[in-house]
Amino acid sequence: MFWQEIQFRSRQEKSLDGTDLFSLTHLYQPIVGVMGVGLYVTLHAQASEQGTSSLLTHTYLFKLLAISHNQLLEARYQLEGAGLLRTFEKNDHSDGNYLEYQVVSPLAPLTFFQTRPLALQLQQRLGKEEYQLVKNQVWTEEKGLSSVDLTKTFQEVFGQKTTTSPPIIQATKKRKSPNIDFGFVRSRLSTIIKSTSWTAQLESELKQACYLFKLDEMALIKAIQNPEVSYGGFVNLEKLFHHLNTTSPVAATNVVSQQMESKTVVSESSLSQKEKHFQLLETISPFELLAHYQGGAAVPKSEMNLIQSLLADYQLPSPVVNVLLDYVMLKCDRKLPKAYVEKIASHWKRLNIQTSKQAREQAIKEHTKQPREQINTTRARRKPSVKKLPKTIAREVLEPTFTDEELQGTYEDIQATMKFLRSTENQVLHNKE
């Protein structure tokens, strides 16, 4: 059965009001395009009566929207990436196999501008001036309103009162890898990614990407939907990491500073700057560490590949990688010589270093053993310069040439010299007798 003949059913949460239409036309439309909004409204209208439509074919949808199946697929991906549509593959005994499109209500304008990825995407599409114009239009409606959040926190309602004993620094918990529902991810990408390409190795790499860039299922799906990443039905991991490196690192330095502020239950004055730095290395990802050193700028591709190699190939824990990178950058004037980093990583792997504390102790040992001047960086040693002889002179030295007369004369000279030496030797022997 061709894809366009597969049946579908649409489902919607609630009817669209004036605020929803404003969000769709002024905020989402520059991102998903006219065809995306048209598909959204059409699917919503199909399910307007009972909340769920009857089963229809995609061919009917093509004709209704006057677009091709490729255009429909692109519009659907745009809606999914913007969080306006969810697609499920279903199979039951009565209706067989079909797709269900769940239409998600658009965000309210204020919530939209507070959602940083969407707001940045809108600014990129509109430009700064037009973006500020739309934003002012939304915020003007809220002028004159003031609100105070009186909601109590969980700790205020259910937490126990602390005793007057001196505060104790709680041990920093290790950052856990994200729990990604790859079944959900696979179902959403089943139309563009071949099922045979989903391997345990691929899921491990994708989980590492989610860890480095703080992705959830929807963000990972949106990244893989990039045509360069999913070309040919396979996930190009190199393209994926490059795409994430150029689009995902948003305000990395702010994230790092926020994590530093929430490390312990005691005040910052009770911790030294050294202890704060160690706690930072314990919890953030290596990517965040390098982004922090670069002031939030994108990390170079070569360093991203190096981090991926340390985590995947050498299988070093993230806190250990952080200490390694921090140690090398401090020792090499903020540089990361690949050969030197991999040499230390290989050594630490053989030593079975698993914690940041062990890594710091080993770094101190290596620092006391090896002075800075002896570090072998990528800079090659200069070879002493050697001046070459002219070709004519070099040829005469390496390949001397003689005429036949010169050779014959030389031979006769040697014979005469040998005859003279023999006669001299005989005369000496005769005198001795």
- Residue 38 clears pLDDT 90, i.e. is over it: yes
Mean pLDDT of 14-30: 88
Higher pLDDT, 305 or 80: 80
Higher pLDDT, 254 or 205: 205
- 86 φ, ψ (degrees, to nearest 5): -125, 135
In 3D, which of 313, 308, 262, 263 has the Cα closest to residue 285? 308
- Locate 384 and state its tokens: 């002493």
- Residue 153 clears pLDDT 80, i.e. is over it: no
The owner of tokens 């040829």 is: 395
Mean pLDDT of 379-394: 57
pLDDT band at residue 272, thresholds of 50, 70 and 90? Answer: low
pLDDT tens for 183-198 read 888 878 887 888 888 8
Tell me the sheet residues that pair with 87: 101
- Residue 344 clears pLDDT 70, i.e. is over it: yes
Mean pLDDT of 282-300: 73
Q: Is 93 helix (H, G, I), strand (E, B) or coil?
A: coil
Question: What crossing angle do the helices spanning 58-65 and 69-81 adopt, rounded to 10°?
Answer: 90
pLDDT band at residue 40, thresholds of 50, 70 and 90? Answer: very high
How high is the mean pLDDT of the chain?
74
pLDDT tens for 356-367 read 888 888 888 887
Write out the H or E segment, with its range, that includes residue 35: helix 29-46
- 372 φ, ψ (degrees, to nearest 5): -60, -35
- Residue 53 clears pLDDT 80, i.e. is over it: yes
Tell me the sheet residues that pair with 101: 10, 87
The owner of tokens 């390098």 is: 290
In this prediction the pTM is 0.37
Highest mean pLDDT among 266-270, 323-327, 399-403: 323-327
pLDDT band at residue 157, thresholds of 50, 70 and 90? Answer: low
Length of the chain: 433
